[in-house]
């Protein structure tokens, strides 16, 4: 089965649950009894000290040695409560562990059971299973209305995505203007003319596709899917293309901004109590005319849903005021002239505090994020950037020498489970606002962040 895993289960829900293992395959019994028992709110399994590692108390499970030739195994955890059973499944193969929900589609879940699966520096897997109250993610602001109505919006915990519009790219458009790396690769491959040029363009598409998957793609779900999964902050980096087209970008041209705006507008129409922040924070190859065109496009698509500062709204206005004014989209636009010309509909960057941690290891990331949490202004939107950024020299080595398996997704798997734990455990009691990560659906960040609003 490969490497073993250190596992713990924490009950963050408001009800007592009993954990049982419904079935297992090719996993030895040692360590399994510590994962079963009754858990009151706030308690965890293993209940007694087993393995003190990674700053917590875990039990260790591993595959049955004689059956490892089958290279996989699985176990199903069931959280039993007064309204039924909620289930999740841990699976493993020779190289990795992962988790999935196995609850019946037609069943209405009471609990949200999630597992953050990460690889530690020592090569072992750490699995943090958390049980929260289930809150429908597509309408969570409505469901928590009584709790958040009188809170300033800048003090509501909001799940967010980094480089939100990077789930696809347009290979026919080539490298975008925001990255020297992809432009450099394209320049190296753009040689010759005529037939030879056409052949190299095909090679160029293939190479850019590999680079996109490894170093440009930060999310895999569409904007609609992100919003339906509970995301309420979108990080949008936009470049112009031609006279009147605009795309999200991250080394390559990704999603047409019309698609982004249409999906946001449609979601907000269907969910009138939900509020989304759209942060246009990097704008490339934009002339004053481009800015006017993009601002007009945003206003046309979102129209009356846009929060207007001229109507007295600000980051520290309570959620109730946004609802009363029908304001569902806070659009932050990082160009001062465009902001001033918008008559209050496009907010300027001085309303948000979002510091890039510039870290390529989790210890540095933790230290920098903790400092930003301590120093955050309470009257502005605040983005906790739970992301790792690979070193430039390492990127060049990986791409041009073809070594290793560096990718944003692999890096995110080291960071996002820890970000979730830091926010929920170590910084419990500190007011959070936007928690932003790469590949949010690979970890259980959304559910804990939403549940933080109940405290």
- pLDDT in the model for residue 3: 67
Asked if CATH classification 2.30.30.110 holds for the domain at 5-134, the reply, yes or no, is: no
DSSP letters for 260-288: HHHHHHHHHHH-TT--EEEEEEEEES--H
CA of 448: how far to CAs of 80, 174, 452, in Å? 20, 38, 6
CA gap 264, 283 in Å, rounded: 19
CA angle 373, 376, 379 (to 5 degrees): 140
Domain boundaries, the chain: 5-134, 145-452
Place of tokens 């820890």: 418
- In 3-state terms, what secondary structure has residue 247? strand
Q: Do domains 5-134 and 145-452 have the same CATH topology?
A: no
The 8-class DSSP code of residue 213 comes to I
Asked if CATH classification 3.30.420.40 holds for the domain at 145-452, the reply, yes or no, is: no
Q: In b/e form, how buried is each residue of 179-206, taking b as 16+ CB within 10 angstroms? A: bebbeebbeebeeeeeeeeeebbeebee
Q: What is the pLDDT along the chain (455 residues), one digit of tens a residue?
A: 456 889 999 999 999 999 999 888 888 888 899 999 999 999 999 998 888 988 889 999 887 766 555 567 888 899 999 888 888 888 877 667 888 777 655 567 899 988 888 877 777 888 999 999 999 999 999 999 999 999 999 999 999 999 999 999 998 888 899 876 665 555 554 544 344 444 445 446 677 778 888 889 999 999 999 999 999 999 999 999 999 999 999 999 999 999 999 999 999 999 999 999 999 999 999 999 999 999 999 999 999 999 999 999 999 999 999 999 999 999 999 999 999 999 999 999 999 999 999 998 888 999 999 999 989 998 999 999 999 987 666 555 555 555 457 788 888 888 888 898 899 888 877 889 999 999 998 888 999 999 999 87
Q: Which residues contact 367 (CB under 8 A, 6 or more apart)?
A: none
Q: Which residues contact 393 (CB under 8 A, 6 or more apart)?
A: none
Q: Which residues contact 295 (CB under 8 A, 6 or more apart)?
A: 333, 338, 341, 342, 346
* Per-residue pLDDT tens digits for 160-191: 999 999 999 998 888 899 876 665 555 554 54
- pLDDT in the model for residue 226: 98
Q: In b/e form, how buried is each residue of 313-347, taking b as 16+ CB within 10 angstroms? A: bbbbbbbebbbeeebbbbbbbbbeebbeebeebbb
Place of tokens 């960040």: 445
Q: Which of 376, 368, 386 has its CA nearest to residue 435?
A: 386
- pLDDT in the model for residue 186: 56
340-349 long-range contacts (CB < 8 A, ≥24 apart) are: 341/292, 341/295, 342/295, 342/299, 343/308, 343/310, 344/308, 344/309, 344/310, 344/311, 345/299, 345/306, 345/307, 345/308, 345/309, 346/295, 346/298, 347/307, 347/309, 349/281
């Amino acid at each position: 089965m490969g490497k073993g895993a250190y596992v713990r289960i924490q009950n963050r829900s408001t009800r007592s649950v009993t954990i049982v293992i419904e079935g297992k395959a090719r996993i030895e019994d040692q360590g399994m009894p510590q994962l079963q028992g009754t858990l009151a709110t706030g308690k965890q399994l293993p209940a007694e000290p087993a393995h003190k590692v990674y700053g917590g108390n875990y039990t260790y499970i591993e595959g049955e040695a004689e059956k490892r030739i089958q290279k996989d195994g699985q176990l199903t955890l069931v959280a039993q409560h007064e309204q039924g059973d909620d289930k999740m499944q841990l699976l493993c193969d020779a190289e990795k562990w992962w988790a999935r929900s196995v609850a019946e589609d037609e069943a209405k879940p009471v609990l949200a059971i999630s597992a953050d699966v990460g690889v530690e520096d020592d090569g072992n897997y750490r699995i943090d299973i958390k049980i929260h109250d289930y809150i429908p993610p597509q309408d969570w602001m409505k469901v928590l209305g009584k709790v958040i109505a009188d809170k300033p919006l800048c003090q509501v915990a909001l799940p967010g995505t980094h480089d939100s519009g990077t789930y696809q790219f347009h290979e026919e458009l080539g490298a975008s203007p925001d990255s020297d790396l992809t432009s450099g690769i394209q320049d190296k491959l753009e040689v010759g003319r005529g037939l030879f040029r056409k052949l190299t363009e095909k090679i160029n598409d293939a190479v850019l596709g590999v680079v996109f998957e490894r170093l440009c793609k930060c999310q895999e779900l569409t904007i609609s899917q992100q919003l339906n999964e509970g995301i309420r902050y979108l990080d949008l980096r936009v470049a112009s293309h031609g006279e009147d087209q605009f795309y999200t970008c991250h080394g390559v041209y990704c999603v047409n901004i019309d698609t982004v705006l249409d999906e946001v507008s449609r979601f907000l129409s269907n969910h009138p109590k939900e509020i989304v922040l759209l942060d246009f924070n990097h704008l490339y190859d934009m002339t004053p005319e481009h800015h006017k065109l993009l601002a007009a496009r945003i206003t046309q698509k979102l129209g009356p849903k846009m929060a207007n500062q001229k109507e007295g709204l600000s980051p520290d206005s309570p959620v109730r005021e946004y609802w009363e004014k029908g304001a569902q989209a806070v659009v932050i636009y990082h160009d001062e002239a465009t902001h001033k010309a918008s008559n209050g509909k496009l907010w300027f960057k001085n309303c948000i505090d979002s510091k890039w941690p510039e870290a390529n290891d989790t210890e540095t990331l933790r230290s920098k994020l903790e400092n930003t949490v301590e120093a955050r202004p309470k009257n502005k939107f605040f983005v906790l950037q739970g992301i790792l950024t690979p070193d430039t020299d390492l990127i060049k080595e990986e791409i041009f020498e073809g070594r290793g398996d560096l990718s944003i997704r692999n890096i995110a798997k080291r960071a996002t489970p820890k970000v979730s734990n830091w926010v929920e455990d170590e910084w419990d009691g500190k007011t959070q606002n936007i928690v932003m990560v790469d590949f949010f659906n690979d970890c259980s960040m959304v559910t804990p962040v939403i549940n933080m609003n109940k405290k």
